[in-house]
Chain A
Amino acid sequence: MTPAPASTDDPKRVAEFEARIARGETIEPKDWMPEKYRRQLIRMMSQHAHSEVVGMLPEGNWITRAPSLRRKMSLMAKVQDEAGHGLYIYCGTETLGVDRHDLVLQLLSGTAKYSSIFNYPTLTWADIGAVGWLVDGAAIVNQTMLAKASYGPYARAMVRICKEENFHKRQGYEIMATLAAGTPEQHAMAQDALNRWWWPSLMMFGPHDADSPNSGELSRWGIKRKSNDELRQRFVNLTVGQAKAINLTIPDPGMTFDEDTKNWIFSEIDWDEFWRVVKGDGPCNRERLAARRKAHDDGAWVRAAAEAYAEKQARASSAA
């Protein structure tokens, strides 16, 4: 894929394209689209797919230690879904003329980004609850918006994913509720997990709208129909009540309720931490990439075997 500079796009065609989006039409793989639109989509969709795949690691960390057979099965099914979701989105991205393999290589070489949230460690079992409840909860808010994205294959993947992710959030919340109502140690474990995951979850929505370089274009082209700050606010409003219901405290003592807007006003996010983790200095950035690289390298001989066998079979059947 060699993306042409945006300036080569015929302004008339761009105007027609933008009119289609304004009319609410979906854009399909073979339709004409501005090169910049294609590039933005590839960037966003592949980041999203990478996030699903890397996201398997922090939760996979607890599969072998899940405390009951039921929890073990639901966690496996959830992590498996993440693989599936990564796959759906990679498959959507491939309709834009890129190969999944090239995207994976970008991830492994560190040139592609994925959601920073997965660079935080899962230290206790309660973290599995917190990840399901908060991280998947935040992802659902984001993905519900993306299900209306202007690019058909992306929107369709999101519809499928949103349907499946509802179980993830409930699974996480159920773990948290069970712990919060359990022994004092379990309650403390749940509160500690909430304390550690709350702020990173809010960071998942990205920088403030004013500091988000791609926002204007993404919204004009119907890829992102709501801003980072709007989505973040919606997530906070949804979550406050859920925390109260299970007797956990959101680690933001300054939080107040604004009667006029019906919004929960929260404190400022630590943006230094946000940028530090994005730039590679989160607690687990190195471990996550190392694990993906190892899986990829260890799998090379398996993929080679499958290819070699398929070639032999094809030769045999064409000779017959």
Chain B
Amino acid sequence: MSASDSGSTSHKLWEVFTQPPGGGPHEHAGSVHAADAEMALQNARDVYARRNEAVSLWVVPSDQITASTPEDMGPFFEPGNDKAYRHPQFYKVPQGVRVF
């Protein structure tokens, strides 16, 4: 395989997750192309953490992510709608108790 053949395929895609300073969870920031994990990590650092946005980085090959589909939306998420007992507002606090 000549160099130009190989140069015409693109590096694989990685999803980047950044953890902001202050202890929040890792959040999806975007993606980068890289041939291997170390380069993906370095690229993620340079692309998504130029402005102190992150104290920690994850990179994951995009094809390794399993995601719910729009068809799952009903069965996955709607059953949560009528379970009001999972929220604190469901429960009464006696009048006069201001800070609970």
Query: Do residues A31 and B9 form an inter-chain contact, with CB atoms below 8 A?
Result: no
A: interface residue count bin? 20 to 34
Query: Do residues A307 and B35 form an inter-chain contact, with CB atoms below 8 A?
Result: yes
Contact partners of A92 in chain B: CB under 8 A: 30
Q: Mark B63-100, 1 if CB is under 8 A from A, else 0.
A: 00001011000000000000000000000000000000
A177 at the interface (CB under 8 A from B): no
Query: Do residues A32 and B70 form an inter-chain contact, with CB atoms below 8 A?
Result: yes
Query: Do residues B36 and A304 form an inter-chain contact, with CB atoms below 8 A?
Result: no
Query: Do residues B13 and A94 form an inter-chain contact, with CB atoms below 8 A?
Result: yes
Contact partners of B67 in chain A: CB under 8 A: 30
The answer for the CA separation of A88 and B50 in the assembled complex, in Å, is 13
Query: Do residues A301 and B3 form an inter-chain contact, with CB atoms below 8 A?
Result: yes
Q: Mark A79-103, 1 if CB is under 8 A from B, else 0.
A: 0110010011001101000011100
Query: Do residues B70 and A304 form an inter-chain contact, with CB atoms below 8 A?
Result: no
A69 at the interface (CB under 8 A from B): no
A106 at the interface (CB under 8 A from B): no
A308 at the interface (CB under 8 A from B): yes
A1 at the interface (CB under 8 A from B): no
Query: Do residues B50 and A91 form an inter-chain contact, with CB atoms below 8 A?
Result: no
- Shortest beta-carbon distance from B7 to chain A in Å: 3
A319 at the interface (CB under 8 A from B): no
Residue positions of B touching A, CB distance < 8 A: 1, 3-11, 13, 30-36, 39, 47, 50-51, 67, 69-70
Q: Return 8 A-B CB contacts under 8 Å, by A number.
A: A32-B70, A84-B47, A87-B30, A300-B3, A301-B7, A303-B11, A303-B35, A310-B36
